[in-house]
């Protein structure tokens, strides 16, 4: 028999912070865990690189094993929050090739771009402030920002990326309300956007910069796919186009062009005070990155292996992209609308009269995985339900064909 004074069972739910309760699960990470357990799944879901330079990485690891204890110890010790200095110097060289002059004080190494996004959010966002994002945009960025309680303003996009006229129109609406200061930044993936695969041309980038400069809106350019270009001409980074304006923050990662398991990326910003703020946020979160992993990457870059490796990646991924496009047209015919991206890792097809979220369980039953399009929208109620993201770089060409064939049977 219960009494009025009976103590209720202990539950952590009574203790979670607002941030914990606002933090959504990542559908992509859940899918990754599922597909790694199910060997028969043909997965187009996770953005998993499919080509690695194991030869040269093994060479570096073998040499590390042979080093004396004294030489090896620094790689096992705590490192600098900003990153291993030798690695930072190599990153400065990479930025120079992009037309950007940088010093050590302009760079902060992070454990993957996801940590960089979290640092950006923690540095700038307060509850109910505004973030401008493309419609659709990278799911991981939405998750990183959402923890801190902002409001999202979606900017309409077309085959060339976000529309400058819609960007300015929505910023102006805040100016009329005298609420412009509550817009903290514009987030954009300018090259081979995740999930759409679109790239913003130089002229449109310049328009976006002018609008953001006019209204003092920070630009966060997230550039994980820039070097994965299979056709066409490379576009400049936002930071190169406006080198004297400190309102551009660039995120670059080695996950897609080296090895995501090492979790190596960096933030570049012309404003050194902002970089110092990022540094303090990281100090109080992880102290530093992995000294050993930073050393491995630094050796790899110093020895000049990266350019050839990128060429090999491109030669591996380009035919896979073409194989998926061919399979989609073969099995869906004229019913499907899908554009050919000039690079990156993803296709963004639109299926006729199909809700890809509702079809997803049936796809899993047929041992095929993709990511339903609605999760890439800040406002999922207004999402394009007939779209989905397909990663073409992980599976073989044969499995790509088979996976698309299976989907055509249930769509």
pLDDT digits (tens, 9 = 90+) for 325-366: 999 999 998 889 999 999 999 999 999 889 999 999 999 999
**Domains parsed from the chain with CATH numbers:** 12-53+308-410 (3.90.1150.10), 77-302 (3.40.640.10)
**Is 149 a residue whose pLDDT tops 60?**
yes
Which is more confidently placed, 333 or 273?
273
Residues 6+ positions from 333 with CB-CB distance below 8 Å: none
Distance CA 88, CA 294 (A): 9
Phi first, then psi: what are they for 28, rounded to 5°?
A: -65, -40
Give me the pLDDT at residue 37, please.
55
Give me the pLDDT at residue 181, please.
76
Give me the pLDDT at residue 36, please.
64
Residues 6+ positions from 209 with CB-CB distance below 8 Å: 219, 238, 241, 242, 245, 248
Distance CA 46, CA 389 (A): 9
Distances (CA, A) of 233 to 19, 24, 236, 340: 42, 37, 10, 15
Give me the pLDDT at residue 39, please.
67
Mean pLDDT of the chain: 93
**Is 259 a residue whose pLDDT tops 70?**
yes
- Helix 306-332 to helix 397-410 angle (10° resolution) is 30
- Helix 202-215 to helix 164-176 angle (10° resolution) is 10
**Is 10 a residue whose pLDDT tops 80?**
yes
Distance CA 404, CA 363 (A): 10
Task: Please state, for a pLDDT cut of 90, what percent of the chain lies above it.
Answer: 80
Enclosing H/E stretch for 167: helix 164-176
E-only strand ranges, 75-158: 107-110, 130-135, 151-158
Task: Please state, for a pLDDT cut of 70, what percent of the chain lies above it.
Answer: 96
pLDDT band, residue 174 (cuts 50/70/90): confident
207-258 pLDDT, tens digit each: 999 999 999 999 999 999 999 999 999 999 999 999 999 999 999 999 999 9
Which is more confidently placed, 24 or 355?
355
Q: What angle do CA 371, 373, 379 make, to 5 degrees?
A: 130
**Is 180 a residue whose pLDDT tops 90?**
no
For the beta carbon of residue 151, count every other beta carbon within 10 angstroms: 12
What's the rounded mean pLDDT across residues 307-311? Answer: 97
Give me the pLDDT at residue 27, please.
67
67-115 pLDDT, tens digit each: 888 878 888 899 999 999 999 999 999 999 999 999 999 999 999 999 9
Residues 6+ positions from 117 with CB-CB distance below 8 Å: 140, 141, 144, 145, 222, 251
**Is 144 a residue whose pLDDT tops 80?**
yes
**Is 4 a residue whose pLDDT tops 90?**
no
Nearest to 384 by CA among 101, 212, 201, 134: 134
What's the rounded mean pLDDT across residues 125-130? Answer: 94
């Amino acid at each position: 028999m219960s009494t009025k004074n009976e103590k209720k069972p202990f539950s952590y739910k009574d203790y979670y912070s607002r941030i914990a309760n606002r933090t959504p699960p990542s559908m992509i990470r859940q899918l990754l865990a599922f597909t790694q357990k199910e060997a028969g799944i043909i997965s187009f879901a996770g953005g998993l690189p499919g080509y690695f330079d194991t030869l040269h990485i093994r060479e570096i690891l073998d040499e590390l094993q042979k080093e004396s204890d004294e030489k090896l110890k620094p790689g096992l010790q705590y490192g600098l929050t900003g990153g291993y200095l030798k690695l930072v110097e190599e990153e400065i060289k990479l930025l120079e090739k992009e037309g950007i002059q940088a010093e050590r004080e302009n760079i902060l190494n992070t454990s993957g771009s996801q940590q960089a996004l979290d640092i950006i959010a923690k540095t700038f966002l307060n509850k109910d402030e505004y973030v401008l994002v493309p419609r659709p945009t990278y799911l991981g960025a939405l998750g990183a920002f959402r923890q801190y309680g902002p409001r999202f303003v979606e900017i309409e996009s077309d085959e060339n990326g976000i529309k400058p006229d819609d960007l300015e129109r929505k910023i102006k609406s805040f100016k009329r309300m005298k609420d412009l200061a509550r817009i903290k930044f514009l987030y954009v993936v300018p090259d081979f956007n995740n999930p759409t695969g679109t790239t913003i041309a130089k002229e449109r980038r310049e328009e976006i910069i002018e609008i953001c400069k006019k209204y003092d809106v920070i630009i966060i350019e997230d550039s994980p796919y820039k070097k994965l270009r299979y056709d066409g001409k490379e576009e400049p980074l936002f930071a190169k186009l406006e080198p004297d304006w400190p309102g551009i923050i660039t995120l670059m990662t080695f996950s897609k062009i080296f090895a995501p398991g090492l979790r190596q990326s960096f933030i570049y910003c012309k404003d050194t005070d902002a970089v110092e703020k990022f540094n303090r946020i990281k100090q109080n979160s992880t102290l530093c990155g992995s000294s050993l992993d930073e050393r491995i990457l630094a050796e790899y870059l110093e020895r000049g292996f990266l350019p050839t490796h990128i060429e090999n990646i491109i030669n591996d991924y380009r035919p896979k992209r073409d194989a998926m496009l061919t399979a989609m047209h073969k099995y869906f015919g004229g019913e499907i609308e899908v554009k050919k991206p000039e690079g990156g890792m993803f296709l963004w097809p639109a299926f006729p009269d199909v809700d890809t979220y509702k079809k997803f369980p049936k796809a899993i039953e047929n041992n095929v995985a993709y990511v339903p399009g609605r999760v890439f929208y800040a406002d999922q109620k207004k999402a394009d339900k007939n779209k989905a993201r397909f990663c073409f770089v992980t599976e073989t060409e044969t499995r790509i064909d088979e996976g698309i064939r299976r989907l055509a049977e249930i769509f």
